[in-house]
Amino acid sequence: MSNEAELGLRDRLAQLSGVKLLRGTRLSTELQRLERQLERLRDDTSDEEIWRRVALARHEKRPYTLDYVERLLDDWFELHGDRGRIDDRAIVAGLGLLAGRTVAVIGHQKGRDLKERAIRNFGMANPEGYRKAIRTMQLADRHGFPIVTLVDTPGAHPGIAAEQHGQGGAIARSQAAMLRLGVPTVAVVIGEGGSGGAVAIAVADRVLMQENAIYTVISPEGCAAILWRDAAKAKKAASAFKPDAAHCLELRVIDGIVPEPEGGAHADPDAAAALLRESLIAHLNDLASLAPDELRRSRRAKFRSMGVLAQV
């Protein structure tokens, strides 16, 4: 899985296929060939392999948003607060220089030790966190700064105050805000892409996943508790809903996979950051020439076409 030829194959397939496939567009011969190759790869993705990735995505030493920020950006200036109520520390936002140009970065932030985990609420944002994200996006839009989001959350925080302050609406409005932006946006799932709390900041022109990241509609444990009536069946649930990067790419939910160093991102954070940097710069360069209206139009069209349908 981790060799570059295979990753290249997936990238190539994603580029060729675009989003139209979901609506039943005919495949070109080249595309069919790539599909067959990917099919063989999929057969190699065993339940154990998927679960290994779930564990890596949640690894306690896995680099978090600020670990990448310090390795990727010069002159990072963090922005705090939603300008209404509070500064939600589960989401960080700020400006910095990526390869010499100003970008806005928004990401979930988990904590490394007990104290920081409490401060960061395990990367589970409240509505105020999404409102901080929204105001940062709008700031970047006004100034023409590209936006990079780093997604790493078990999910949005399920709490009394979170509901009273409009968790669902905040997640919906964050997606709406992203779909309205006229600047290039790249989202990267760097660990756990947990449900609504993740997609809230992942509605981007390019959505990437690191090789060992997961992107899920519900946690494997939550799914197991509901469908199997047993949270211990999480491994089974994970292999049923296939949250790994290869499957997400196959379903065209993401546009590419960012390779990680041997053993996973935590084994060599500097190397992981260098690989991430390479991908970010390539995708941002690709998007740089597109006009705001074109970005908006094609971003909406991409998400509009998500899903697989049958007819009677």
Partner 1 sequence: MLWMSTPPGHIDVSIEHKRADPARSDGRGDHPNTCPACGSHYRDEELADTLRVCPQCGHHFPVRAPERIAQLADPGTFDEEDAELRSADPLEFFDLKPYVERLAEAELRTDLGDAILTGRAAIDGHACRIAAMDFSFMGGSMGSVVGERFARACERSADEGGVVVSVAASGGARMQEGILALMQLPKTVAAVGDLQDAGGTLLSVLAHPTTGGVTASFASLGDVILAEPGALTSFAGPRVVAQTTREKLPDDFGLAESNYRFGHVDAVVVRSELRSTLARLLRLFGGGR
Q: Which residues bind partner 1 (CB under 8 A)?
A: 156-160, 162-169, 171-173, 175-176, 179-180, 195-196, 199-200, 203, 215-218, 223, 225-229, 237, 240-243, 247-248, 251, 253, 300, 303-312
- Residue 291, both tokens: 């006009």
The DSSP secondary structure of 20-63, one letter per residue, reads: GGGGTPPPPHHHHHHHHHHHHHHHH--HHHHHHHHHHHT-TTS-
Q: Minimum distance from CB of 181 to partner 1 (Å)?
A: 11
Half-sphere exposure of 57 (CA within 13 A, CB side): 31
- Residue 195 or residue 279: which is nearer to partner 1 going by CB? 195
- Residue 121 or residue 275: which is nearer to partner 1 going by CB? 121
- Furthest CA-CA distance within the chain: 57
Q: Minimum distance from CB of 250 to partner 1 (Å)?
A: 9
| Alpha-carbon gap, residue 208 to 258, rounded angstroms | 7
H-state helical runs in 110-231: 114-120, 127-143, 160-164, 167-180, 195-199, 220-223
Q: Minimum distance from CB of 215 to partner 1 (Å)?
A: 5
Q: Minimum distance from CB of 148 to partner 1 (Å)?
A: 18
Q: Minimum distance from CB of 175 to partner 1 (Å)?
A: 4
Q: Minimum distance from CB of 27 to partner 1 (Å)?
A: 16
Cβ-contact 287, 255 below 8 angstroms = no
Which residues on neighbouring strands pair with residue 95, listed in sequence order?
77, 104
